[in-house]
Amino acid sequence: MRPWLLLACAASLSAQQTPVILISLDTLRADRLGSYGYKPAKTPHLDRWAGEGTVYEQASTPVPLTLPAHTALMTSTLPFENGVESNASTVPPGIFTLASFFHARGYRTGAFVGSIFLEKQLGLDVGFNTYDSPFDFGAFSRLSGEALAAGTAKRERRPGPLVLRAATQWLNAQGNQPTFTFVHLFDMHKPWAQASYDEQLAAVDTMLGNFRQSLERSGLWDKALVILVADHGEGLGDHGESDHGYFLYESTLHIPLIVHWPKSDPTHPQRVAEPVSLIDVAPTIVEYLKLPKPASFHGRSFLDAAPRPVVSASVYAHDSFGWAPLRSLRQGQLKYIDAPREELYDLAGDPGEKRNLAANRKPDAAKMKAQLTRLQKVSSASPATNRNEALKSLGYIGPGPKARAVMPPADPKDRLPILIQYDAALSLMASGRTAAAVAAFRKILMADPGNLLARRDLGVGLIELKRFEEAISELRTVAATAVEDYVTRYELGLALEATGKLPAALDQFRAACQLATGAAQCVAALQRVQAKLPK
């Protein structure tokens, strides 16, 4: 046998003997763990993992939203490369994932997810023998990014202990087969079961401590490569952002990344300060197993310690409200945010991003903006991209509604008060105070008339108040631009049906059902209106 073939066989055997477990903690910001310097932390189990493995101190997500971040994690591509830039997306069919990589090498592959945002129908099941997502996905809204449960069950999340129990049972059933296991916990996402974010994290820490014990009992812990990450962080009020997806500050981009190496390989560093990205996880696993990196993986292994650019983006403000999308580039400790009013921060001395240096360091800002544009142009040439043509006129690409106006889009920083008003209006709706919510939405539209999401939700509120003609007027305005928003089409159908405009209602329900073939409520509405029409 040729020497190179012997080496290849040895590498393959080594890979076959190494179980890989990838754990994603949804909505966990790095600076809430004791191992990342948070003194009030109650995370002894995760901190023990960190103390025995490698902590990557400056890991970032490419997008602070669940589905796009996990797509980036699994495919080692940026969102504007793979086309999944919002939660209201589906993964392109045939995409190559980390699970595909393992499946092709004889691994048993299993995924156990805690949220409807990773439901099997959205497409991340590629390459998995088992994809455990017990949710009834019905539709999603292009405008708001909401995933909507089908039927009446409304199950949108699964508690962590149930996810971990399913993963443990599956692992124990695999015997000596090599395994790749993906575990997704959604417990850190609002609403929390515990009273506060930190208390919820303490509960998750206990869950994972119990999971480790089960791995130790089975002998897997010592054998396995275990990587713990988050998909994104949480604003918790920093920069005025309560949750995530709107801004690109470190509160939502900076994520924990902790690697437990197999016991047979104790030579890795305890802490790494060089910035890395979520898209670098898959190449790291592949290189560690001494296997060739797939050409479609665009990230770079952590085992290569050379500096790298870290790119992030968010189109949420644009897709939902018509404001400017955001992009960012990090080089070492310098971070640039491309916005109508650009931002530049030196994270070494300003980790909270309080001092915008863009005006004082214009050459640095210009250089980083040019590099960010070059990186995006190269990436956007990928055949996997699937873009909304209207956004190209803005210089950005992503799914969502058509361009709303010829005026330059507003800076999300300037529209933060409106976002806060919008969230308050939603709370009024949720608490049954519909008339007050309608008044709040109208106030928002007086200040920001192009805000399609507020206008859509105004229409929904008007339907609840049985003011159907007003609702039709508002929802027709939204539907003319946000042509692919399921909620708009469905609600407009309801208003038209209620006013006896049955042929028009039928058209809207047909359009809605085409957008969401799994939406039982839409099929029922379509059949109901068809039955009312003369044969």
> Can you tell me the distance from the alpha carbon of 459 to that of 467, in angstroms, rounded to the nearest whole number?
9
Kindly report the CATH number assigned to the domain that includes residue 165. Answer: 3.40.720.10
Q: Which H or E element spans position 345?
A: strand 343-346
Number of structural domains the chain divides into: 2
For residue 237, tell me if it sits in a domain: yes
Kindly report the CATH number assigned to the domain that includes residue 468. Answer: 1.25.40.10
Residues 436 and 293 in one domain: no
> Can you tell me the distance from the alpha carbon of 449 to that of 279, in angstroms, rounded to the nearest whole number?
38
For residue 526, tell me if it sits in a domain: yes
Per-residue pLDDT, 142: 87
Three-class SS state of 526: helix
- Tokens 């109901």 belong to 528
Residues 298 and 428 in one domain: no
Residues 84 and 221 in one domain: yes
Domain end among 262, 280, 303: 303
Tens place of pLDDT per residue across the chain (535 aa): 333 333 334 344 444 589 999 999 999 999 999 999 999 999 999 999 999 999 999 999 999 999 999 999 999 999 999 999 999 888 999 999 999 999 999 999 999 999 999 999 899 999 999 999 998 777 888 898 887 766 545 578 999 999 999 999 999 999 999 999 999 999 999 999 999 999 999 999 999 999 999 999 999 999 999 999 999 999 999 999 999 999 999 999 999 999 999 999 878 999 999 999 999 999 999 999 999 999 999 999 999 988 999 999 999 999 999 999 999 999 999 999 999 999 999 999 999 999 999 999 999 999 999 999 998 876 554 433 333 333 333 332 233 444 444 578 999 999 999 999 999 999 999 999 999 999 999 999 999 999 999 999 999 999 999 999 999 999 999 999 999 999 999 999 999 999 999 999 999 999 999 988 878 889 999 999 999 998 7
Per-residue pLDDT, 380: 54
Q: Which H or E element spans position 527?
A: helix 520-532
Q: Which H or E element spans position 520?
A: helix 520-532
Residues 243 and 108 in one domain: yes
Domain end among 303, 318, 348: 303
For residue 265, tell me if it sits in a domain: yes
User: Are 128 and 186 contacting, i.e. CB atoms less than 8 angstroms apart?
Assistant: no
Residue 45: give the domain boundaries: 20-303
From residue 533, give the alpha-carbon distance in Å to each of 330, 453, 491. Answer: 59, 32, 19
User: Are 296 and 281 contacting, i.e. CB atoms less than 8 angstroms apart?
Assistant: no
For residue 384, tell me if it sits in a domain: no
Dihedral angle, C-alpha 262, 263, 269, 272, nearest 10 °: 40
Per-residue 3-state assignment (H helix, E strand, C coil) for 97-155: CHHHHHHHCCCEEEEECCEHHHCHHHCCCCCCCEEECCCCEEEECCCCCCEEECCCCCC
Per-residue pLDDT, 150: 60
Q: Helices 520-532 and 502-515: crossing angle, nearest 10°?
A: 160
Burial per residue of 72-81, b for 16 or more beta-carbon CB atoms within 10 angstroms, e otherwise = bbbbbbbbbb
CA atoms within 13 A on the CB side of 467: 14
For residue 6, tell me if it sits in a domain: no
Residues 297 and 443 in one domain: no
Per-residue pLDDT, 3: 34
For residue 262, tell me if it sits in a domain: yes
User: Are 293 and 286 contacting, i.e. CB atoms less than 8 angstroms apart?
Assistant: yes
For residue 181, tell me if it sits in a domain: yes
For residue 159, tell me if it sits in a domain: yes
pLDDT in tens, 322-335: 999 999 999 999 99
Amino acid at 439: A
| Tokens found for residue 436 | 């007050």
Domain end among 303, 328, 343: 303
